[in-house]
Structure 1
Amino acid sequence: MTDVHPTFPAPDHDHARCAAEALLRAEQTCLRRGQNFTPIRRQVLQALLGSHRPLGAYEIIEQLAAQIARPAPITVYRALEFLMQNGLVHRIESRNAFLACAHRHDECGNVAFLICERCGSVGELVIGTLAANLKESARLAGFAATMTVIEITGICSNCQTQAQT
């Protein structure tokens, strides 16, 4: 049995509280690791927390440009890399986009992404056991896996409910 826990924002989701908790977690993570949570890193994370949908780097730049001076793309990519390395942001490979992580797993936390084809929201499945099995299968096939990304597209429960009404 895998440790599967799907998560999508509920229709009554308190987004302000969710974003505040994620920022606090980011601050605590950086403090615990002795890393600097710079203003640009915070601003990039806040831009991603503004939605439960993945954003591309240039969408993030446009959001930041509306609030502060337009950052250079390399600055945003470096901030994203830092946030990914610390388990605060995920990259959605198929969309070349990034998503703030709302869960408390480390940077090695294995997740699968559930991508809604209708609303674009993304949920996470914690798949530690499944990922370990895949990595072991790859090893037995003589392959040294370094990264496992699983993306599943479909229709989220919120959109399914809306379609039924």
Structure 2
Amino acid sequence: MPHAPNLLEQAEHQCQARGVRFTPMRRRVLELIAENGGGLKAYDLLDQLSTEHAAARPPTVYRALEFLIGQGLVHRIESQNAYVACACPEHAHGFQFLICRLCGHVEELHLDDVTRKLSKHAASQGFRVERQTIELLGLCEACTPTTSESL
């Protein structure tokens, strides 16, 4: 996942270039998500934010998440109803997730050929893809037992 300070700086530049406001609350939500190695749920964000901002409420968090997703800075992990920072927010792209079922680590992949093939196949069926969510659940390298451990 992206390094938080670099991501925040990149997000500021991207929002400025697009003429949209990168408010302190949006910045803090992105920062909390980026600091987390796995998916972060909205209510976990709310718990963390409420210790810093007494006015933090669910609509505040959901509006910030909606903005960040719209700007391509955050992705939603559908199967976990959680959010992760985008590894490459500087351009629009298809993406896939590798999600470790033990430690929760999320790795973002950019297999554009997969995205293109799925879209092309869908189009051949008369279907127009608006959004793709590909999530692979398994074990990351750190959580995968070695051959000697599994004996």
Residue 61 (structure 2) aligned to one of 76, 87, 112: 76
Unpaired runs of at least 5, structure 1: 1-8, 10-14
What corresponds to 2:117 in structure 1? 133
Residues 73-114 of structure 1: CA distance to partner in whole angstroms, max 9, x if unpaired? Answer: 1111111111111111000000111111232442x3111000
Match of 1:42 among 27, 35, 49: 27
- 2:11 equivalent in structure 1: 26
Cα offsets for 1:12-70 (capped at 9, x unmatched): xxx8xx11011111111101111110011011111112211111111100010122214
Aligned residues: 147
- Which of 120, 123, 126 is equivalent to 2:107? 123
TM-score by length of 2: 0.90
Q: Distance in 1 between matches of 2:80 and 2:89?
A: 23
Matching of residue 151 in structure 1 with residue 104 in structure 2:
no
Consecutive unaligned residues of structure 2, counting only runs of 5 or more, are none
Distance 2:54 2:35 in 1: 18
Query: CA offsets, 1:115-157, max 9 Å, x none?
Result: 0011001001102221111011011112121111100011112
Distance 1:155 1:105 in 2: 29
Q: Give the aligned partner of residue 63 of structure 1.
A: 48
Give 3-state SS (helix, strand or coil) of 1:148's partner: coil
2:37 aligned partner, one-letter code: H
